[in-house]
Amino acid sequence: MIYPTLFRLFLSKLDPETAHHLGMFAIRAASALRLTKLLPKIKTTRVDAMGLHFDGAFGLAAGFDKNAIALRALGEIGFSHVEIGTVTAIPQSGNDAPRLFRLKKDRALINRMGFNNDGAEVVAARLKKLRATKQLLPVIGVNIGKSRVVDIKDAVADYEVSAALLAPYADYIAVNVSSPNTPGLRSLQDVDSLRPILEVVIAKALGKPVLVKIAPDLTDEAVVEVANLAKELNLAGVIGTNTTISREKLVTPAAEVTAMGSGGLSGPPLNVRSIEVLRVLRKNLRPDQVIISVGGVETNEQVQERLNAGANLVQGYTGFVYFGPLWARSVNKN
């Protein structure tokens, strides 16, 4: 139990974004030095979905490895799949810091990172180089979003650029229209706005599976509309859910939360709504369409609960911050 002590005494004292970069460096260094190869083998249950083979149901949600710089390392520490990004067609630095906050009493995070990333062209080149090495890698999902400087009315063409550049190196593509940190982005979840975006991504996906990622703040009726659109367009599936703008039922004092400002909330406070969205999706999608359930997952038992409720795969992120580098192994282990 070294990590909880390290987190309490050291990492929790650092700015969260600084701690993230330090953790990313440590994971990559451990892989480069082959220290991750010393980890004992764990037994996992293979999952077949979207024509892909996953060494376990549990993967890493988008937001941790935004630029595809630690894929091998993340696979070695236990994630069956890693969703990189969100990647935008145009490189962008994201919102001003501070933009990442811990709610330690809730084991939650608030982020307003703003899709900081190197851009689709650079990330595509990085993935191409990585693929050429023939290394053993986790399944790679590529999460794409709208560039901040692009007007909402031009979103379709912007997504088209990203999809065309990244599809050759992705195992699947996730269309992100649900982050609360890009102005106007969530309006694209309206089915009339969403349809042309998904159509153009499918056209550029080279036959790779395409999924759409939705917000937990949608009404059940809106979730059903997205599910119906997914059936109409024959999407591979839906990822539910992204972070929430809600601040309900938090243990952290309201004044502290207010002082952190705007952004998406992730972690255990999303658990209940994420499962609700999962159940609505499963009821309204075709049996062959995949659901990747995200939001508040911390344990193997919670992963199993999601699978029993109809998910095909499960993702997490915030638990990585609070439980450390061996977290994925404990969650994916049979």
**Total domains present in the chain:** 1
Q: Does residue 315 contact residue 83 with C-beta atoms inside 8 Å?
A: yes
| 3 state DSSP class of 121 | helix
Amino acid at 334: N
Amino acid at 60: L
Q: Does residue 192 contact residue 180 with C-beta atoms inside 8 Å?
A: no
Structural domain for 108, as ranges: 2-332
Catalytic residues: 179
**Domain with 189 in it: what CATH number?**
3.20.20.70
pTM (two decimals): 0.96
Distances (CA, A) of 221 to 37, 185, 226, 278: 47, 19, 9, 13
Digit-by-digit pLDDT tens for the chain (334 residues) are: 566 666 666 777 899 999 999 999 999 999 999 999 899 989 999 999 999 999 999 999 999 999 999 999 999 999 999 999 999 999 999 999 999 999 999 999 999 999 999 999 999 999 999 999 999 999 999 999 999 999 999 999 999 999 999 999 999 999 999 999 999 999 999 999 999 999 999 999 999 999 999 999 999 999 999 999 999 999 999 999 999 999 999 999 999 999 999 999 999 999 999 999 999 999 999 999 999 999 999 999 999 999 999 999 999 999 999 999 999 999 998 8
